[in-house]
Amino acid sequence: MSELMGGALLAETLFALGVRDVFTLHGGHLDPFLIACPGVGIRLTDVRHEATAGHAAEAYAMTRPGELGVCVVTAGPGFTNCLTAIASAYSNAVPTLFIAGAPPESELALNELQGGFSQVQLAAPITKWSQRVSRIDRLPDLVEKASRIALSGRPGPVFLEIPINVMFGRTSRILFPVEPNRTKASKPTISAGDADRVLDVLACAQRPVIITGSGVVLSDSSAELQRFVDATGLPVVSNSKSNGVLPFGHTEYFGPASILAQLKSIGCEGADVVFLVGARAGLLLGGRSGNIILSSAKVLQIDIDASEIGRLSPVTVGLVADCSAALGVIATQAEGRDWPKWDSWKSGLRAARSALVDGECTDNGPSGRIHPNVAALRVFEALPLSTIVVVDGGEVTAWCEPHNRASAPGEYLTTGYLGTLGVGQGFAIGASVAHPGRPIVLIMGDGAVGFHLQEFDTMDRHDLPITTIVLNNSCWAMSMNAQDLVFGKQRRTVVMLEDRRYDQVAIALGCEGMRIVDASCIVEHVGNAIKAGRATCIDISTDPEVMHPITFGMAGADPKQGKISMPYYQNE
């Protein structure tokens, strides 16, 4: 072979591995790679902050199951700006490859530019694998290994550091070439006997429910899930990482898992058998509170990570397997059985979902600004069913969740386990690049939008038709309301914001923009913005005097009993 510069070899290797999109921000360490990408067929989407590039890679992988999200940034501050995105991908188990430049190894410990610390060691605790590439001829096999690790088992981020001398160096030798059509490893599955053990417990249940998680999304197993559900009539709810695993309107889909916490309030008993399919016990399922999964319930669980089986409580049947492979076996075994109807149980679930979605409220709140639930409801009424929705914020997320109408995995993205505000612009950019031509709507609080306002420029430069909706109540709503509950309104500290015009910021950075102060205009203006196919920001003036009920629990306050416990976590 003729000599190749290290950066060009990196680009060719990524292309051979199936990578077609890379999210980046320029740095001199990266130039051989960046310049080579267009020639080999890799599209570069450059953003205005490295954190956005990392979050975009995360969303790209979440919306394209089985594929790798790739983020390439420069050394030093470029890398450290990405740490939050790496941690987010790690906590949410998303297959992502992060690559950073580095000073030449010959200048190690010489107070060099953008060096002086170990990027590899810093990334190690929040990645599945962290490695320096010290030789150009090892680039292909180490990149292939990183890709394989990211996508195998429980998915997650990996990190490669490529020093500038490797990027700019040349080689005519490759020790371990990467074959474009590599044989894929088989997926761990279960036996027919294992499936029957699960089905026997479900068949005897009076109030069974399937709770799906990101394992269903990342294993691309919606078809197998639907086949299983169609055969059995079992009801399904999803945690916030698996919206869209069944089509919107499917008769057996009952919405977010939080409806299970509503059952008691409408006089219904909770589930007596819970089948966790790729869903991790913890934050998104009420932790040890027993609000979503009763302590008396039998728990069945499928997860590719054995350490997740029985994390918070013993399970009746635990299966370590890929969700797609396991559900295929379970569906086959289920199709030969007769199943109960569970009509009364499903009626209770429908009532609980209605209680969550149909809360009564007027268009305007106490202060005269638009009620946030009305704003969220009207926004979703305007969205075509093909819309990919990203939600970023505290109470904003809670207002939006019941109105979600996602019909496929990755069509409704939220912050996840890390609770990272400011991911919205990156998620929306990643989703838009991953799905050209699809309408992308980003719904944010005015707190969350402030982290990366500069990305309106990115949306415009790359012609990404993202409609950003800011529910603007001039405060950090969940934080303010929590302080009020625990300490009193007179003690508010660093939770207030000014009523800024974020639509005007978007206009200044090349996008369209408008403000809405009348709820009756929301459906029309949001619909028109989506049809226009331009990056647009719609600032909706919402009421800061309205508190979402979820904040009582998050703040640790029980207004009925006058109790305050430790906020956000279970009381010690």
Token digits for 405? 């109408």
Please tell me which residue in 7, 27, 29, 255 is annotated as part of the active site.
29
Annotated catalytic residue 462: no
Q: How far is CA 242 from the centre of its chain?
A: 9
Beta-bridge partners for 273 = 208, 298
Scored b (16 or more CB within 10 A) or e, 298-330 reads bbbbbbbbeebbeebeebbbbbbbbbbbbbbbb
Distance CA 424, CA 52 (A): 9
Q: Using the 8-state DSSP alphabet, how is residue 267 labeled?
A: T
Distance CA 160, CA 143 (A): 8
- Neighbour tally for 385: CB within 10 Å: 12
Q: How far is CA 52 from the centre of its chain?
A: 14
* 3-class secondary-structure state, position 326: helix
Please tell me which residue in 282, 419, 450, 510 is annotated as part of the active site.
419
Q: In the chain, count of helices (H) and strands (E)?
A: 22, 22
Beta-bridge partners for 130 = 159
Annotated catalytic residue 50: yes
Residue with tokens 């309301």: 481
Query: Among the residues of 64-126, which ranges form H helices?
Result: 77-80, 83-91, 119-123
CB 242 within 8 A of CB 276: no
Q: HEC states along 459-494?
A: HHHCCCCEEEEEEECCECHHHHHHHHHHHCHHHCCC
Residue from 46, 35, 42, 34 nearest 16 by CA: 42
Q: At what angle do helices 192-203 and 323-334 cross, to 10 degrees?
A: 60
* 3-class secondary-structure state, position 54: helix
Please tell me which residue in 6, 7, 49, 50 is annotated as part of the active site.
50
Please tell me which residue in 114, 226, 333, 483 is annotated as part of the active site.
114
E strand or H helix that includes residue 55 = helix 50-63
Residues with catalytic function = 29, 50, 114, 419
